[in-house]
Structure 1
Amino acid sequence: MGALSHIRVLDLTRVLAGPWCAQTFADFGADVIKIERPETGDDTRHWGPPYLKTPAGEDTHEAAYYLAANRNKRSVTVDIATADGQRIVRELAAQSDVVLENYKVGQLKKYGLDYESLKTVKPDLVYCSVTGFGQTGPYATRAGYDFIIQGIGGFMSITGERDGQPGGGPQKAGVAIADLMTGMYATIGVMAALAHRDRTGEGQYVDMALLDVQVAMLANMNTNFLASGQPPVRWGNAHPNIVPYQTFQTSDGWIIVAVGNDGQFRKFVDAGGRPDLADDPRFSTNPSRVRNRDTLVPVLSTMVRERGKHEWLASLEAAGVPCGPINDLGEVFEDPQVIARGMQVELPHPTGANVKLVKSPIRMSATPPEARLHPPMLGEHTDSVLRDLLDYDDARIARLRESKVI
């Protein structure tokens, strides 16, 4: 039994931030009931290709994007715009510990599914709302998209190649970091609220905003600015205070070299056949290398391009110089460390396919998270949830389906 197998989560979220939070609960054994729109479901079900393929190689129309954030859940289709649909959600909320939602501010109130309404049927309910800008403030009613949040929240001002350099300018992250980090912070907030409930019997409301999270996660860059009054700038793959601490192109690919002290610099240039660089007063100490980076880095770049990446990595690792490859995802899942940690898992799917997914990175000795169930087909568990949790009989379920409530 998972660490959270005693918890039921009613998941009214879609796309990424909310489902990511719900999936973390599900990995730890919580019973997560995913409420979806009849016929269409979560938007990400259709965000493909690529799609999961059957053993015969045919598309299942289960998008890979959807599969990434929805394992271990049960899918129930309900039209919450109908009175019967609202009744179903209220009845399920009354039997849940947590409600997650990411509708626009105030949208669920008109359906009687907001926190104030649901806590009347479940006083100790923990209710978490995930929005772009939070429930208060001048931007509260705006739609929040990860890309826009990365810009507003300052991330793109410190990410990307330096201005004036080839390819210089702001750059977003390769994944939706504001969404993903909001999902993780929401998980922490809800767990803290559950711990409070277990001690006091009191439920509470958790207000999560992508912009709040994006600002918070800039960590030391925030305090660098707050301490100095000077906004940090983009440095691309270089470091503002350490040289060389960046990417280099070899004769057949790219590597990262992260020289942390003068001794490592000497070992680096020794490995490249340029020991003279470590004796040059312009480069012998890190402060001098920082001051003279524009002279030094082109010389190092020429040195590194003379050999292949595997040769460089072997020689630098042997010398004790921190380094690493820049892997594509094919190389990532072939990496012996990734394989040893069991990061890829496969789950059987009703289509006959095996769903390849990435394992939770959390390792625990007694109650580890598990990938148990495939990401559900749309409405796969509607009948069983209504029957088992709400005691609906087959005739009532049939009427609801005929009227398109479910």
Structure 2
Amino acid sequence: MNARTGPLSDVRILDLTQALAGPFCTMLLADLGADVIKVEPPGGDMSRTMGPHPNDRAGTDYGGYFASVNRNKRSVVLDIKTDGGREAIFKLAATADAVVENAKTGVMDRAGIGYDRLRKIKPSLVYAAIRGFGDPRTGRSPYADWPAYDIVAQSMGGLVSITGPAGSDGFRAGPGVGDIYPGTLAALGVVSAIHAARRTGHGQFLDVAMYDAILTLCENIVYTYSRAGVVRGPQGNGTPVLCPFDVFRSRDGAVAIAAPGENHWAILCNAIGRPELIADDRCRNNPKRVANAEFVREAVSAWTTAHTTQEIVAAIGGRVPVGPVNTAKDIFADPHPRARGMLIEVDQPGDNPPLTIAGCPIKFTETPSGIYARAPLLGEHTEQILAEAGITDASKEKS
């Protein structure tokens, strides 16, 4: 592992998470320099089995899913169902600034390693939980004991109901937003709570409900219903308050164009050979264009469908907000992700080529974030981590 240079290089996180929401949270903290100790059961994180897998499966016990969200971490195997495993957790918690877990409500408490037990060991400890519907400590939900996945959070939080073609029942967003966004908010919560703990000497419990996070992401449906009684439905690729603000077909693909402001609209009208639309009463300002959105879309589409995506971007790029609808292949060919350190090649164990994963989008000039190490093999750092915590061979045997 290379030196951790990020702004959290003085922070240690005890990571008891699995799957995506929790590991994404701790991945962000690790990218920012935190020493993240990933505690795994003897069978490993459930996501280790998920592909795509490398050719040398014997040399690498995880696939792309695990590799992406568990980089920069160290793995220790502990069986928390045993006395020795729990004792090891206690000793590791005493060295940590925060513990993060994403089990169902009550699971860690019943295992004897929940917040109430760990804060007795270290009063300044921050304890973060990511759950489908939150933890009763911060607000009792009628669904508190329900399991949840990304698609459930996206649906209940409102995202599905406003995503997809107009007139549809809604669509799940492509990425696992129901996991990733709660994980992102939890990372912010952890950093904030550690800041407070270092100032006051007192830790605290914090949680992010997946439902709550998606509801926050869809904040516009809340005030729109409250103020106007309007229930927003799927809007396709457009928006009911800005026009043009859409994805348009090109001759060979698709392109996003957003020109709701008068300056951008005028430039676009000239570029598409329709300068008369600038003064057209149906288009002379954004409210008028919203009211006549179909007319506006047809006018822009007539131009975009006659040109390739590259021609469209060349014509208005840098003058009007525009961007191609990129596939992963397009992103790999685009110079921006490479220039910004967003496509990082990471060496893999065994006889496998490097794997490219998404980099950290939070950039610093003085304390750079980064990918310091590949994801760990199961238990790769067990001996090292237990030794750092002063755990003897005898105590390991109990686990």
Q: Tell me the TM-score normalized by structure 1.
A: 0.89
CA distance in 2, matches of 1:204, 1:282: 56
CA distance in 1, matches of 2:297, 2:151: 32
Instruction: State the partner residue of 1:10.
Output: 14
- 1:51 is aligned, of 26, 49, 53, to 53
Q: Deviations over 1:267-308 (max 9, x none)?
A: 323323334444543334433332232344334323321221
Secondary structure class of the residue paired with 2:54: strand
Change (3 A) 1:152 1:29: same
Instruction: State the partner residue of 1:204.
Output: 204
Alignment of 1:357-376 (within 5 A): 357-376=357-376
* Deviation (angstroms), 1:58: 8.7
Change (3 A) 1:311 1:113: same
Determine if the alignment matches structure 1 residue 142 to structure 2 residue 155.
no
* Deviation (angstroms), 1:233: 2.5
Instruction: State the partner residue of 2:133.
Output: 133
CA distance in 2, matches of 1:254, 1:115: 50
Secondary structure class of the residue paired with 1:362: coil
* Deviation (angstroms), 1:67: 1.0
Contact 1:347-1:372 within 8 A present in 2 as well: no
Instruction: State the partner residue of 1:159.
Output: 163
Secondary structure class of the residue paired with 2:130: strand
Change (3 A) 1:349 1:299: closer
Is 9-18 or 263-272 further displaced after alignment? Answer: 263-272
CA distance in 1, matches of 2:373, 2:300: 50
Contact 2:15-2:36 within 8 A present in 1 as well: yes
Alignment of 1:224-243 (within 5 A): 224-243=224-243
Is 335-344 or 137-146 further displaced after alignment? Answer: 335-344
Alignment of 1:1-400 (within 5 A): 1-38=5-42, 40-48=43-51, 50-54=52-56, 60-135=60-135, 136-163=140-167, 168-317=168-317, 320-353=319-352, 354-393=354-393, 397=396, 399=397
* Deviation (angstroms), 1:140: 0.4
CA distance in 1, matches of 2:369, 2:103: 28
Residue correspondences, number: 390
Change (3 A) 1:110 1:289: closer
Change (3 A) 1:386 1:256: same
* Deviation (angstroms), 1:68: 1.2
Contact 2:88-2:391 within 8 A present in 1 as well: no
CA distance in 1, matches of 2:284, 2:208: 48
Q: Tell me the TM-score normalized by structure 2.
A: 0.91
CA distance in 2, matches of 1:231, 1:111: 43
Q: Deviations over 1:120-158 (max 9, x none)?
A: 111221111111001122110000211111111111121
Where do 5+ consecutive residues of structure 1 fail to align? Answer: none
Secondary structure class of the residue paired with 1:189: helix
Change (3 A) 1:161 1:58: farther
CA distance in 1, matches of 2:391, 2:88: 11
Change (3 A) 1:396 1:58: closer
CA distance in 2, matches of 1:2, 1:259: 38
Change (3 A) 1:241 1:391: closer
CA distance in 2, matches of 1:6, 1:278: 56
Secondary structure class of the residue paired with 1:333: helix
Q: Deviations over 1:337-386 (max 9, x none)?
A: 22211212223333253232222111112212121111000111112222
Q: Deviations over 1:31-87 (max 9, x none)?
A: 21111111x211111112x12345xx9984521111111111111111111222122
CA distance in 2, matches of 1:313, 1:349: 37
CA distance in 2, matches of 1:230, 1:161: 18
CA distance in 1, matches of 2:384, 2:320: 58
Contact 1:155-1:214 within 8 A present in 2 as well: yes
Secondary structure class of the residue paired with 1:52: coil
Where do 5+ consecutive residues of structure 2 fail to align? Answer: none
Contact 1:8-1:30 within 8 A present in 2 as well: yes
Change (3 A) 1:355 1:300: closer
Secondary structure class of the residue paired with 1:10: strand
Change (3 A) 1:197 1:289: closer
* Deviation (angstroms), 1:28: 2.4
* Deviation (angstroms), 1:252: 1.0
